[in-house]
Amino acid sequence: MKPLQVLAAGSLRHVWPAIVSAFQQDYPAGIETQFGPAGLLRQRIEQKEACDLFVSASTVHPQALLQAGLAQRAALFCHNFLCLSVRRDRVDPAAGWLDLLRHTDLRVATSTPGCDPCGDYAWQLLDRIEQQDATLGKQLKLRARMLVGGRDSPPVPPGKLASAWLIQSGQTDIFIGYRSYAHLLQPADGIITVLIPEEWQTRADYGYAVCQPEGNKLAERLRSSEGQAIFVKAGFTAIEKQGPGIPAP
C-alpha cells in the first residue's frame, strides 16, 4: 500500500493539515501533499507526474485534465474571495479600497495569471475596475507587478504568507490576494486587510480532479459537511451542494 499522492494549490497550505487530520483514517499509508500554483501543478500532471488527487484554486484546471482524459471526475469543493493586504504605515486605515488603489505612489502587486489562479482572479478584478473607470483600470494594469506564483518567480520563504513577505521585504505596498489569509496576519506584521465589496468581487471557485481511483474517498470528504466546516473555519466559503460535477459557469 502506498501513500495517497496529492498536488494542492498553495492557498490551501494552511487548511490542509486539518483536512489530513480529519480524514487520514481512510489512508493508513498516509497522505503525501505537494503545494504550488495550480496552473503549474496541472502542467506537471500533464507531463505524467504521479497524482491521485489534484486540488486546485480554480475549476478551470481540473476541467482541463478531465477533458484531456487525465482525470476521472472533477467537482467544486469551496470558494474564496479577494481582499487587499496593505502596508499599514503607508496608508490611512480609514481609506476605502478604491481610494488606496488610486494612490499612484503606492505599489501594487498580484500573483501571476495563467500559472496561479490568484493572479487570474486579481486581473479579473482589474478588468472589472476598468469597465467602471477606464482611466483607473488602465493605470492599475500598468502599475501592477506580478511578483509571485510564476515559473520564474522567487519562492516565498517557508512559513511566510506571500502578501506579508512581499510587503515586509519592501517589494510592494498593496497585494491583491485571497481573503482566506486575512485571519492569519498578526498586528505585528504591520499589514492591514481591506475588504472589497461584494459587487466588485471575483469569486474564486476551488475544484478538484480525481486522477486515480485512490483519490475518490478524500475528494468526497472535501464536500462532506465535516470537510466544509473545516474550510469555513479556515476562512473559505462553503459550497451549495450541486451534484457530482463542476457546475457550468
Q: Residue 179's domain is classified under what CATH number?
A: 3.40.190.10
pLDDT at position 191 is 94
| Statement to judge: residues 185 and 137 lie in one domain | yes
For 232-247, letters b (16+ CB in 10 Å) and e give eebbbbebeeeeeebe
Q: How confident is the model at residue 130 (pLDDT cuts 50, 70, 90)?
A: very high
Is the model more confident about 187 or about 117? 117
* Residues 129 and 93 both lie in one domain: yes
Domain total of the chain: 2
Same structural domain for residues 86 and 190?
A: yes
Spell out the alpha helix ranges (H) of the chain.
16-23, 38-46, 60-67, 97-102, 117-132, 134-143, 162-168, 216-223, 225-233
Residues 132 and 166 in one domain: yes
Q: Residue 244 falls within a domain, yes or no?
A: no
**Separation of alpha carbons 104 and 169, rounded Å:** 20
Q: Note whether 132 and 121 are same-domain residues.
A: yes
CB atoms within 10 A of CB 14: 15
Q: What is the mean pLDDT of residues 208-219?
A: 98
Q: Decide: 231 and 15 in contact? Cβ < 8 Å.
A: yes
Same-domain check for residues 98 and 184: yes
39: in domain = yes
| pLDDT band per the 50, 70, 90 thresholds, residue 241 | low
Q: Is 79 exposed, middle or buried (0-12, 13-18, 19+ CB in 10 A)?
A: middle
CA distance 29 to 4: 8
Residue 95 scores a pLDDT above 60: yes
Q: Among candidates 246, 236, 207, 162, which has minimal Cα distance to 154?
A: 162
**Percent of the chain residues past pLDDT 90, beyond the cut:** 90
Predicted confidence (pLDDT) at residue 245 exceeds the cutoff of 60: no
Distance (Å, whole) CA 59 – CA 205: 6
6 pLDDT above the threshold of 50: yes
Q: Per DSSP, what are the bridge partners of residue 8?
A: 35, 55
pLDDT of residue 1: 82
**Sequence-separated (6 or more) residues with CB below 8 Å from residue 17:** none
What integer is the mean pLDDT of 202-206? Answer: 95
The verdict on 39 and 73 lying in the same domain is yes
Do 220 and 179 fall within a single domain? no
**pLDDT confidence of 202, banded at 50, 70, 90?**
confident
Given a cut of 70, is residue 247 above it in pLDDT? no
